[in-house]
Structure formats: C-alpha cells, structure tokens
Structure 1
Amino acid sequence: MTTTLHPPLNSDSTLPPAAEALEQLLQRFIELSHKLNLGLPTVEYDKNWLSECIIDEQPDEKGLVKWQPKIRRAEGVFSQMEDALGVKFHPDVIAFYTHFWSDGIVASHSNGEISLIQIWNSEDEDMLKQNLLGHAFAKQKNRLPLTLFIGCTYNDDIIAIDNNSGHVVLERPGFAPHETIANSISEFLNQLTPTLKPYNG
C-alpha cells in the first residue's frame, strides 16, 4: 500500500515544473518507505522540534514518530530577503522551498549521494532564510554570481540554483560555481533516486 500526498497540489492550479518534480520525488520517497519499511518514514521525536508533517506525536518504543510531507500554500516567503538583497529570486527557488513542509531527504545522483534541503517547520524556515541571506550577501561582497543553495554532496560541494539562469550547479564555499549538473531544478530532481538514509542537515 502506498500513501499519496493529499490534497494534490495541482487540484486548483497549475503546478510550476519545479514543484511538480519535487512532489514526484517526495512521492517516490514515500513509496520506497512503504516498500522497504512497510509504512511511512520515521524521525526521532523532539518535543521542541514539531512539524505539521508528524502523523502522531506519540513516539514508538524507539522514540520515533511517523511523518510525511505536508502540502503548504505560502506566498511572499522570501519577499523581505529579496528587498534586502535588491534582487528577485529565480521562480524555481521559490517553487522548491514553498510548496511543502518536509524533512530533508538523502538521494542518489550520478555524482554520488546528496542531501536535499526542505523546510520542517516555521523555525526551520527562519534559520534557512538567515543562512540563505548570509550566503547571498557573501556572493555580493565577493562579486560572484548569485546562487541559492538547495543541498550538498557528500564531497562537501554546495548544490545551488544559479539565480540568473536557473541552472543547478556545484560550488565550493566562497567560490563561483565550477560545474553545471542540470539545466533546471525539475531536470535535476527527476535525476534523483530517493533513499531512506537519515537526513542530518
């Protein structure tokens, strides 16, 4: 038995390609959990780190609770950041971060395993914004092309979206991107195979 994400994101509007690709990836993740673990994914329960994603706040004997991605409707999430930076974020960045509440996931890519960031709760969102803002200000200070990170590789490369082109790139902290790995976030997400390895972002 598999669990689909409800309500469907495109029930009342056309999904941006980035959000649609993310939904499909998260669905593959849920289906993998049902196939291998016969149920929803689990996460260690923390009473100070709750989320709408948690299905039941009563932890099991191992201190774990079941969860699944939760659809959200969010507008203007990055408006203040855009004003502070004097730029508009690429639509793919906004689509990637504002359509779901979810834990991050670990996935396989042709470049190796990667960790993909998602937003677990409002506090997590605030921390992400602070980190993105610091990243973006550093780019501006060093006169480097603006990128906005979405994850990392296990070789400590940052996975980011080029804010101008929408390409998904690899870069090292403090440097310009050194490799383009996909022409868009939707193309990149479609290349990923989810795993059930714990996310430690």
Structure 2
Amino acid sequence: MNASRSDLISALQQFHRRHFQSYQQQHHQPPTVEHDSDWPSPCEQGEVKNGETAHWQPVPCEPPLDFANIEQALELELHPDIKTYFGSFFCANLAAQASDGKLELLFPWSPEDFERLQENMLGHVWMKRQLRQQETVFFAVTDIDDVILSVVNSTGEIWAEKVGKKPHRKIAGSMTEFITSLEPVV
C-alpha cells in the first residue's frame, strides 16, 4: 500500500473513531441508523430494535472495492484518492464541520449501494464531459444549496462546485488534508 493510500485510510479511520466517540459521549450509546430491510448493510451491528433502528459502525471493505468497471466505462483511470475514499469502508453518511461550514460525507453503505454510487459517478463524469469541464467526482454535499465537494480527477485537489458548473473554490490540496481538517457533527 503506498503512502498516500495508507495516509488517507488512517485519516478516515481517525475521523470515524472521533465521530463514533462523539456520538457515544452525546447519546450514551453507539450510533444508530434507521433499518431498511431493502438496504441491509454489513455496518449494522446486533439486532434491529423495534424493527426500526440498528446500531452501526464503519466496516473495512476486504478486499477494497473495485472500480475497474467504471474506469473501463469512462475510459479513465480514477484518481487513487477517489478509489481509496469510496473503496475502503462501508459506512453511513457522516456529518462534519469544515472551516467553511457543515457538510455530509458520502460513503457506500453496502455492496448494492456501491453499485448505485458508481452509476451516479458515471452520470456526473459524463455530465462534466458534455459541459467540457474538467472531470471531478463528488464525495460530499454541503449545507449550501447545489454546492457539492469534489475531487478533481487529474490532481486529487478538493474543490467546491455547484452542480453542473465548473469548480469554483479550492478547499484542500488532497483528500487526506481535507479529512484531517474536519470535526465530527453528531
């Protein structure tokens, strides 16, 4: 595993741990999620309570999730940070605070959700190509309407962009730098 991949995995693990600890301190129990029998996840822990909620925690993907099909469809090699970020853990989406405001980090919840995520990635990159804009892959939504956070595929930089528009503001030089700067919101 190269240094960049291991650094990003470590940053994600630390953020997951801080989020989990903050949740437990505030709610006196592990994080819960509304159970959906149509979308089971390896993240769900123990029994579903009252048929409605389950405790959950991030679960490493072993082996890491594969992006060969999307790369082949796009005829594009995805930036390694994109593959590491989305391919290393099954996890619920997580709220966070960045220096510029609140956001929600998007993660695949299950293998089926990973397939849906890949379809959304394909649509996003194809839209960027039709608009003759640099290729980006979104990974977070913000509390500002229509503003998402994306990885610029060619550089790995993190940028804010309005849906359908060119990235308009650089947020961080890398995914590791960005994840390390976040504070959990529970």
TM-score by length of structure 2 reads 0.93
- 2:151 aligned counterpart, secondary structure: strand
In the TM superposition, 1:17-166 aligns within 5 A as: 17-60=7-50, 63-75=52-64, 77-156=66-145, 157-166=147-156
**Do the aligned partners of 2:64 and 2:88 also contact (CA within 8 Å) in 1?**
no
- Report the AA paired with residue 142 of structure 1: L
d(CA) in 1 for partners of 2:109 and 2:94?
11
- Report the AA paired with residue 49 of structure 1: W
- 2:150 aligned counterpart, secondary structure: strand
RMSD of aligned C-alpha atoms? 1.7
d(CA) in 2 for partners of 1:146 and 1:94?
15
CA offsets 1:55-85 (integer angstroms, 9 cap, x no match):
1132148x32111111112346211111111
Equivalent pairs, count? 184
- 1:186 aligned counterpart, secondary structure: helix
Unaligned segments of structure 2, at least 5 residues:
none
Deviation >4 Å, runs of 4+: none
- 2:54 aligned counterpart, secondary structure: strand
Unaligned segments of structure 1, at least 5 residues:
1-9, 197-201
**Do the aligned partners of 2:65 and 2:87 also contact (CA within 8 Å) in 1?**
no
**Do the aligned partners of 1:73 and 1:98 also contact (CA within 8 Å) in 2?**
no
**Distance change (3 Å), C-alpha of 1:143 and 1:74:** farther
- Report the AA paired with residue 39 of structure 1: Q
Equivalent residue for 1:192?
182
**Do the aligned partners of 2:33 and 2:54 also contact (CA within 8 Å) in 1?**
yes
Equivalent residue for 2:162?
172
Higher strand proportion: 2
d(CA) in 1 for partners of 2:48 and 2:33?
12
- Report the AA paired with residue 147 of structure 1: T
**Per-residue deviation at 1:31?**
0.8
Aligned residues with identical type, % of pairs? 30
d(CA) in 1 for partners of 2:165 and 2:75?
21
TM-score by length of structure 1 reads 0.86
**Do the aligned partners of 2:158 and 2:172 also contact (CA within 8 Å) in 1?**
yes
